[in-house]
Chain A
């Protein structure tokens, strides 16, 4: 089975993010970049499906600037077979819809039976691209999967989707788009051999024109990026435990009106 995994390079959560000069994006100086954590669950699951079947191909794809190649290289080091980099300044200020359309064009060229994505990227937390990709392709889609099993005939996949209050198990005919999340698996670390091998694997650069796409068409734009309003300073309640607890409950009731 051929599986395409769509990933995104994002700032490490622990890294400082500062608002950039145009106040619409972040200042990228000094940022540590990582593969978005949810995407690692998608890469891991794709590799497991391939290993279980004993055959197949896992292709990592991303849309992003030149530095996003490092993220693809990490996926190759984990074990993906090759990678595609949608690397074109035309996609500079893209929204989820433009990203989804670009990914859909790649999917049409590559014709995988399955597309796996992370549940959301941890930079903009929009979580919309996988659904919009499925829509652009006209494929079924299941979000937040916690289990999967490809049917013996390779024509469908059984997935357990997390919903409020439980799991819903579906048989989904392939091809389909699925989003992966924590609890599905434990992503592997790249081995030294994997890291060395990744250097020899192909990362293909693709421009918008190669996919027959025109630049533009964004439907949502950032007006401004702002710092969080500061929280009012807090208070450490002193005293022995019974006294402090009494004072906390009183404060929650009378000052904060939270109870």
Chain B
């Protein structure tokens, strides 16, 4: 379909699209009436293809080849460029992930079109698309527009309304012939992080964050316990990361991860501007801090002025009771 809205699939590297794709497909469908998925992968599963159909993709462009994993821009860009040239999509969207931030920037450069990264809203105004993106540490919103199509954008997770999934809805699958350039970057090894058993920070619907008030690395156990009860990821402020209490990958904020969960709960987090830069677009913000003057209370929807070490065990118990009902 010329003028189609394409959604580049982010998968879990074992042939299944990530949940964030339901948000990207949902937004593309809302804007254009229909969305198509473009999946570059070494291995798609039937279950994954079915999932994309249920999330509303009317068509799946399946670009499947062993050399498409791991992601390398120098391989992915020419492959998708060829399909873009042939099919002339009107928009190409992807979720904000480490690889799509790079990939869609590079693809936009190859196509000679603009890229809007980390969008939190998209709106058609007449025949142009206007994207809203946070700038200056989230202190302002910038509205941007493209000089020409395809409009290339990355969408922040947890911000856009997910597609209404319909069981049994299927997408047509087309497998274009592929010509892959030789990759110059060679994978040496992959080092998996030790799994915490909790969701990933940037994908989680609920995020708990521990700041300087946590007092030490050993105390994160109480947040992990609470996280286990409500299915939350556990992050940290820069102060806690710089103190060596948590690895950098858990840092929320300016020099860490940007998150937009449905619920953010900060424990012993003061709310320095660098931390707010990474979480201020969370839908509901809860702050627990002994210091009533902590700046985080200014943006919190709910606050408790108390010692987190008293509050967290009670919270864990209350949530347990609630969720057992």
The residues of A with any CB-CB pair to B shorter than 8 Å are 11, 13-14, 17, 19, 26, 37-38, 95-97, 100, 122-132, 134-136, 140-144, 158, 160-173, 181-183, 218-228, 231-232, 234-237, 241-242, 244-246, 248-249, 251-253, 256, 258-259
CB<8 Å pairs between A and B, sample of 26? A17-B136, A97-B108, A97-B109, A100-B109, A126-B115, A129-B105, A131-B109, A134-B73, A144-B98, A160-B191, A162-B249, A168-B189, A170-B185, A172-B184, A220-B116, A221-B147, A222-B143, A227-B141, A241-B311, A241-B314, A252-B302, A256-B263, A258-B263, A258-B284, A259-B230, A259-B263
Instruction: Give how many A-B residue pairs fall within 8 Å (CB-CB).
Output: 252
Is the Cβ of A251 less than 8 Å from the Cβ of B302? yes
Report the separation of the CA atoms of residues A41 and B148 in the bound assembly, to the nearest whole angstrom: 35
Q: Would you give the shortest CB distance from A112 to chain B, in whole angstroms? A: 17
Mostly, the A contact residues are: mixed
A226 and B140 contact, Cβ closer than 8 Å, known pairs A126-B117, A167-B190, A242-B314: yes
Say yes or no for B113: interface residue by CB 8 A criterion.
yes
A17 and B140 contact, Cβ closer than 8 Å, known pairs A164-B202, A258-B283: yes
Is the Cβ of A127 less than 8 Å from the Cβ of B299? no
Is the Cβ of A223 less than 8 Å from the Cβ of B141? no
Is the Cβ of B301 less than 8 Å from the Cβ of A132? no
* Residues in A whose Cβ lies below 8 Å from that of B256: 182
Is the Cβ of A132 less than 8 Å from the Cβ of B109? yes
Is the Cβ of A219 less than 8 Å from the Cβ of B147? yes
* Residues in B whose Cβ lies below 8 Å from that of A173: 184-185
Say yes or no for B122: interface residue by CB 8 A criterion.
no
Is the Cβ of A140 less than 8 Å from the Cβ of B184? yes
Is the Cβ of B146 less than 8 Å from the Cβ of A163? no
* Residues in A whose Cβ lies below 8 Å from that of B298: 234
Which residue of A is nearest B303, CB measured? A236
Say yes or no for B90: interface residue by CB 8 A criterion.
no
Is the Cβ of B77 less than 8 Å from the Cβ of A135? yes
Q: Which of A131, A167, A172, A223 has the most CB of B within 10 A?
A: A131
Q: Mark B299-322, 1 if CB is under 8 A from A, else 0.
A: 111111111001100110011001
Is the Cβ of B190 less than 8 Å from the Cβ of A218? no
Partner of A245, one of B102, B185, B299, B315: B315
Is the Cβ of B135 less than 8 Å from the Cβ of A125? yes
Q: Would you give the shortest CB distance from A9 to chain B, in whole angstroms? A: 14
Is the Cβ of B105 less than 8 Å from the Cβ of A170? no
Q: Would you give the shortest CB distance from A125 to chain B, in whole angstroms? A: 6
